[in-house]
Amino acid sequence: MTTKITYDCFEIYHEDTDKPINSFSGKWRFLSNFSPANVKLDDAEYLTVEAAYQAAKTLNKKERTQIRKAATPFIAKELGGKVTLRTDWEDVKLVVMEDLLRQKFAAFRDDYFKLIQTYDRELIEGNTWHDTFWGVCDGKGKNHLGLLLMRIRNEYYHWSCLK
């Protein structure tokens, strides 16, 4: 069943379900960091959150440029695994990701409405590549990506003032 929710300035429709969204693929691909989304990192534009996140791992401008110019987010991720890692990376990586996600899902961009339409469903970045920090693999993981997305979505509900 689908329910219509009216906000002050727009209407959304969401699927009534208690099932979590446990894969950021298919219909839910827009939740993936690999899906197209123009974001900025230190005044440079990136075509995906993934590319910007990988570039943020280093303070080396040449390495960042190489990642920014990567043909795909998959290549950007591969390059990000080879950079000169900044010394504070473990302390800042969650903040960096949250900033990039807030850009991607900024108010009234297409992805903003799609995120809102997930309503109160649990968002789980399920994967098979054993990323248990950002997602969940084989039932194990911290799911930081899903948690950040749900936090941003929930703030938007309060900001938009449900009627």
Number of structural domains the chain divides into = 1
pLDDT given for residue 72 in this prediction: 98
**CATH of residue 44:** 1.10.357.40
The residue type found at 10 is: F
Conformation bin of residue 42: beta by default, left when phi > 0, alpha when psi is -120 to 50: left
pLDDT given for residue 108 in this prediction: 78
Say if residues 138 and 87 touch (Cβ distance below 8 Å): no
Burial code of 34-61, b = ≥16 C-beta within 10 A, e = fewer?
bbebebebeeeebbbbbbbbbbbbbbee
The 3-state DSSP class for residue 2 equals strand
**Which residue reads 């109160």 in tokens?**
120
Distance CA 149, CA 2 (A): 22
* Full residue range of the structural domain in which residue 135 is found: 2-160
pLDDT given for residue 70 in this prediction: 98
Kindly indicate the confidence band of residue 5, based on its pLDDT and cuts at 50, 70 and 90: low
Residue 85's alpha-carbon distances to 4, 55, 79, in angstroms, are: 46, 10, 12
Encode pLDDT of 132-152 as tens digits. 999 999 999 999 999 999 999
Average pLDDT over residues 102-111: 90
Task: Say yes or no to pLDDT of 160 above 60.
Answer: no
Encode pLDDT of 13-45 as tens digits. 556 577 999 999 999 999 999 999 999 999 999
Encode pLDDT of 59-101 as tens digits. 999 999 999 999 999 999 999 999 999 999 999 999 999 999 9
C-alpha dihedral sign at 132, 138, 140, 142: positive
Kindly indicate the confidence band of residue 158, based on its pLDDT and cuts at 50, 70 and 90: low
* Its pTM surpasses 0.85: yes
Kindly indicate the confidence band of residue 163, based on its pLDDT and cuts at 50, 70 and 90: very low
Retrieve residue 154's tokens: 């929930």
Task: Say yes or no to pLDDT of 122 above 50.
Answer: yes
**Of 94, 97, 63, 95, whose CA–CA distance to 79 is shortest?**
63
